[in-house]
Each structure stands twice: as structure tokens, then as C-alpha cells.
Amino acid sequence: MNTKSLGWTELNFTQIGLGTWAIGGGGWAFGWGPQDDTLSVETIHRALDLGINWIDTAPAYGLGHCETVVGQALKGRANKPFIATKCGRSWGSDRKLFPALRKKTILGEVDASLTRLGVGVIDLYQVHWPQPEEEIEEAWDAIADVVRSGKIRYAGVCNFNVSQIKRIQPIHPVASVQPPYSMLVRDVEAELLPFCAQENIGVVAYSPMQKGLLTGKITRERIAEFARDDHRSRDPQFLEPLLDLNLELVNDTLRPIAERNQMTVAQLAIAWVLRRPEMTAAIVGARRPGQIEETVQHSTLALPEDDLHTIDHALRIRQESIQSR
């Protein structure tokens, strides 16, 4: 699989990274319902065997559980992938997440992640959310110290806007940003992507298949069967009125284009994200080996211009329809 350097860093990431949010399982506010850990380990092994060379995780995913499962999967593996994890979301005995970016919290989080992951160094350490916003400079200063200590190789941010990145850049160079980006969430196109290109900051896009909606396999029946602790049941993209528009986009526009290009809808959705030159990689979530087997194929192919125009036109009509409601 093709690799790209992550902005100005020496990390060469495959254009598909494995996303592990769903591997955190259920039992917390942003869970994905029950998840079998054996299947999760098999999924991680399959991703690595298919050539994916980096994994994105976070302490928040399953409240430490996801990092532990990633650590188990990596035990004894000869070729270890790059590990990207995060900080800035803490939880108490009530299992509720809260934002926390104070220096003391960050220092504790780094050590806890290293232990759960069973590694001596974290390749990419990312602030999960710019919240509390008044603490981002303190967090970044703490992270810069940890980079100097050797426990972290590079530091990046998730969900930051350009002005927030500009606030922390003088403290320590920003290696990467991790924003949401899919056909349904395109906010980064106007300002963030051009800024990252100009500053040579790596971009790793999350939820490229909009949490499974853009795989062509989500139906109203499937949504009705989501586990009670699958947070997607509360996600507006999976609820009316957006759901109707989203299923129409998938069935009327994306499915025929995917078929014409001998791809699946999921592969088309990822290829669409990777069409942007600013994009280092797409973080592709999977919870079963078969899912990553599918999405790793064809999704780095260039899409024909006329198909890109057709998708753009359909997305514009969808947007107008949302605005007119």
C-alpha cells in the first residue's frame, strides 16, 4: 500500500490507517454496542497483514479498553505498526467522560496509555478535542515536554480549527490534524485543508464512511436493531430528516457510481476522501476482519472526473434540501 509522509515528520503512514473506536465496545456514552475482543484482535492482525502500518486509538474508546485490546494484539508481533493515540478526555467511577487538559492530567494520561498499549514510545500523540478551550496552551506545553522526554515522537491535534492551531504552534510544532471528513461532513475544505498544505501539517481524516452510513450496508432495519449502547442511534445523520437524504444519496448516486467503477460504496467513500492532495491518510474503522479486507482494496484509486462531478452535484442538492427545511 502507498505511504505518505505525515506532514513535515519522518513518519510514513499508509494511506489507510486502522480506526479502533468501535473496538472500544459498549457500556459508555459513545460506545458502539457489544464487541468481541477476540474478533477485535483478529481485525487488528488482519489489518497489519494487509499492509496497514498505523493504528489510531484513544483512551476514551471504551474507557481504556480499546488501548488494552490494541496492546494485546501487538504483543509478540514482529512488525509493530505506528501507534497514534490521544489525550484530553478523562472519566470517573460513574464512567462519564469529561474534558481535561491540565498538565498533571496529560502527564498521567501518557503513562497510562504507554502501559495499556505495552509500548515504550507513542509515535503520534493527539489532543482529542480543544476542550476546555482555555487549557489548550497548557496541554500543548505539557505535550512538548513529553516529546523532549522521549515518550512521544510527534504531537498532533484532533478537531482543532485554524485559529486554535495558530495559538499552539509557537509553543511546539504541530505534526498533524485529525478532523472529521466525509461526503456528509465537508467543513474542513474551506480553511483547514489549505492551511495544512501551506504549513506542511499532516492530515488524517476520521469517519470517512460516516460511521458506516456510507458503506451501502446501513438500512432503516439495521438502525432499528442497533444495540441500546450504540451511540449511532442518537447521531442525527442516522435519524430523520437527514437519514432519508443520506440513504437516497447512497442508493441513487453512490451505488451506481461504485458499480461502474467495480468498487463497493465503502471503497468509493474512502477514495473520495483520499482524492484531496492535502490528505495524508483516511482513518478507516473496522470491527471485523472482513470489513477491513473490503475497505483496504481499491480505496486509494483515483476516481474519474465525471463521477466526482456527479457526486459533487448530488451533495449540493442534498445541502440545498437541508437548508430549505
- Tell me: does residue 298 bind ligand NAP (CB under 6 A): no
In degrees and rounded to multiples of 5, residue 318 shows phi and psi of -60, -45
- Tell me: does residue 19 bind ligand NAP (CB under 6 A): yes
> Are the C-beta atoms of residues 40 and 73 closer than 8 Å to each other?
yes
Taking phi over 0 as left and psi of -120 to 50 as alpha, with beta for the rest, 127 belongs to beta
Min. distance of Cβ 243 from ligand NAP in angstroms?
A: 14
Distance, CA of 279 to CA of 269 (rounded, Å):
14
> What mask of x and - would describe binding to ligand NAP in positions 234 to 263, judged by CB under 6 A?
------------------------------
Please give the angle made by the CA atoms of 59, 63 and 64, to the nearest 5 degrees. Answer: 55
- Tell me: does residue 209 bind ligand NAP (CB under 6 A): yes
> Are the C-beta atoms of residues 275 and 261 closer than 8 Å to each other?
no
**Sign of the alpha-carbon dihedral angle for 102, 103, 104, 106:** positive
Q: Which secondary structure element, helix H or strand E, spans residue 33, and what is its range?
A: none
154 is catalytic: no
| Binding residues with ligand NAP: total (CB under 6 A) | 28
- Tell me: does residue 291 bind ligand NAP (CB under 6 A): yes
204 closest CA partner among 100, 46, 84, 314: 84
> What mask of x and - would describe binding to ligand NAP in positions 56 to 95, judged by CB under 6 A?
x---------------------------------------
- As a dihedral over the C-alpha atoms of residue 292, residue 32, residue 72, residue 206, rounded to 10 degrees, the angle is 50
State which of residues 286, 296, 311, 314 lies at the interface with ligand NAP (CB under 6 A).
286
Nearer CB in complex with ligand NAP: 19/71: 19
Min. distance of Cβ 13 from ligand NAP in angstroms?
A: 13
- Tell me: does residue 47 bind ligand NAP (CB under 6 A): no
Among all chains, which residue has been given the C-alpha cell 448530488? 314
Q: Which stretch binds ligand NAP (CB under 6 A): 3-11, 71-79, 237-245, 286-294?
A: 286-294
Footprint of ligand NAP on this chain (CB under 6 A)? 19-22, 32, 56, 128, 158-159, 178, 206-212, 215, 217, 266, 283-287, 291, 294-295
Q: Which residues are catalytic?
A: 61
